[in-house]
Structure 1
């Protein structure tokens, strides 16, 4: 293979940083875009899909991009991760889960186990069999259908919930100097260590992040759940959804968001849980293969690796910043439409 060019490094780095977090599949785009361009770009894909590609410069380069994306996520959610890590350490010392942050830490652990084990066993097999343009196009189309299905099922669930009797009172829990609603103002939204699921109806109400009342983790009418009301079994199911991202074309963030939506989370909480789940998975995948960056495969592309690394990191930070705001009011539907169109066009091109 000819050396990876700086142009390829920057383009693919930006592509990785954005599509890893947008619900459109980074692996699918890393296969389809070079294949659509053709020439030396397409050779990058065929080499990466080769079962004997462990020593390929491109694979070493992709490792650097994954590490950059994970570091961008850590930087953006640094305060959350600092609290989550401290809470996790506390549970190991006390052998108890007492706060919403401690519960969130274990939800992340439980949801990470399925994809971690599956990735260790099957990652190379999936890359060899399915990281090909036509397969990626088919799975990208399927990704669009899954996003639409998730939105449809959630709307159906909300429509049923609206017919339920309205809740007249607001239950709160006492934290620090005053009460907060038992809702999404928990560990992720400003209150980090409120007791988990210990309501006290005597306290006066206070506004939530959306300036609307929350009761027992549910929005009146819409009945959206909050993140810390998930059970460990439900977190494990969402983690199982994440394993589908091993197929090139299925988005990790998209499929985990669908899993969260199907368990009653709103788009904002589902997106944030998806980003938090992605961080240890992406970082671990990169660190496990980090030695390839110091081996002969990357000996002649250190400059390109650095260029791609920086581009991917900046792109990923910008992407998560944008999406964290986007999903406060919007849905997965535009991304579903994009995946359906891009997937259909690619199927026609590579069939």
Structure 2
């Protein structure tokens, strides 16, 4: 593994970690770094190995969520381990069943339309459109929250099954690459009456089972590409993604109640415009 390979693994892990859970679309950002960097890593050798690497670094990001929400995740099954972000008070209404209800729509929709999504939506044009449409949904959510006489919304421990299911429906929109799962679900949560922070917490908690399950299944299918020569490259990317995802999540959770979604929406629109100019200028 060359020094350049290490740099590529670090940068790709950084991009994955910083964008996977922020409402800015990790897909849009990975398109950029894929074209600029991933193909230049000599150690990867083939598209199959490169795709395996993407799964590995995504697992690093998921591990960061597990660490940040450690106590809250245990509390879903009635075990109080205490002391971390999202700790639930005695009598919490948030249960594992709320998470399951929130996940069901996307699971069903994903299986039903998997071929359509893979065939028609994984294109630069559709990703750019999703970045912009998702931005308007985020702006709408912020606007709606300001129209309720400054009512801050429900907390995470006040979430109902109806709210969980409706947020799950919003998550279905995020199957459109570029829309952003966190952007869709946080916006949906705010529109359903949750505080911005509560909607973000629920989004991250839902991410653990659905992303871990999908990544694990994908990784098992790609085990043949986990050869000894690429494992150091994968480890560097995994650790980089974990560290930067942990930083990103803690930073985002500290900010979301203060700045809401508008700054992220503006950033997405600017990103879409820049990507569009670059893409269509080289066609």
TM-score range, shorter chain: 0.7 to 0.9
Against the structure 1 CA distance between its residues 24 and 108, is the aligned structure 2 distance closer, same or farther, given a 3 Å change threshold? same
Alpha-carbon shift at residue 226 of structure 1 (Å)? 2.5
Alpha-carbon shift at residue 350 of structure 1 (Å)? 1.8
Question: Given the alignment of the two structures, is residue 338 of structure 1 paired with residue 263 of structure 2, yes or no?
Answer: no
Contact 2:52 2:225 in 1 (8 A): no
Alpha-carbon shift at residue 66 of structure 1 (Å)? 1.9
Question: Given the alignment of the two structures, is residue 79 of structure 1 paired with residue 71 of structure 2, yes or no?
Answer: yes
- Which residue is equivalent to 2:168? 239
Alpha-carbon shift at residue 149 of structure 1 (Å)? 1.6
Larger radius of gyration: 1
Question: Given the alignment of the two structures, is residue 224 of structure 1 paired with residue 133 of structure 2, yes or no?
Answer: no
Question: Given the alignment of the two structures, is residue 282 of structure 1 paired with residue 211 of structure 2, yes or no?
Answer: yes
* Matched ranges for 1:1-150 at <5 A: 5-35=5-35, 37=36, 40=39, 56-86=48-78, 100-101=91-92, 103-123=94-114, 125-150=116-141
TM-score normalised to structure 1 length: 0.68
Contact 1:69 1:282 in 2 (8 A): no
- Which residue is equivalent to 1:95? none
Contact 2:23 2:264 in 1 (8 A): yes
- Which residue is equivalent to 2:235? 306
**Partners of 1:272 and 1:265 in 2: CA distance:** 10
**Partners of 1:294 and 1:74 in 2: CA distance:** 23
Structure 2, unaligned stretches of length 5 or more?
A: 80-89
* Matched ranges for 1:116-265 at <5 A: 116-123=107-114, 125-156=116-147, 158=148, 162=149, 222=151, 224-265=153-194
Q: CA RMSD in A?
A: 2.6
**Partners of 1:41 and 1:28 in 2: CA distance:** 19
- Which residue is equivalent to 1:207? none
**Partners of 1:120 and 1:67 in 2: CA distance:** 21
Against the structure 1 CA distance between its residues 316 and 8, is the aligned structure 2 distance closer, same or farther, given a 3 Å change threshold? same
* Matched ranges for 1:313-328 at <5 A: 313-328=242-257
- Which residue is equivalent to 2:83? none
Structure 1, unaligned stretches of length 5 or more?
A: 49-55, 88-98, 163-220
Residue 250 of structure 1: SS of its match in structure 2?
coil
Against the structure 1 CA distance between its residues 318 and 59, is the aligned structure 2 distance closer, same or farther, given a 3 Å change threshold? same
**Partners of 1:137 and 1:242 in 2: CA distance:** 18
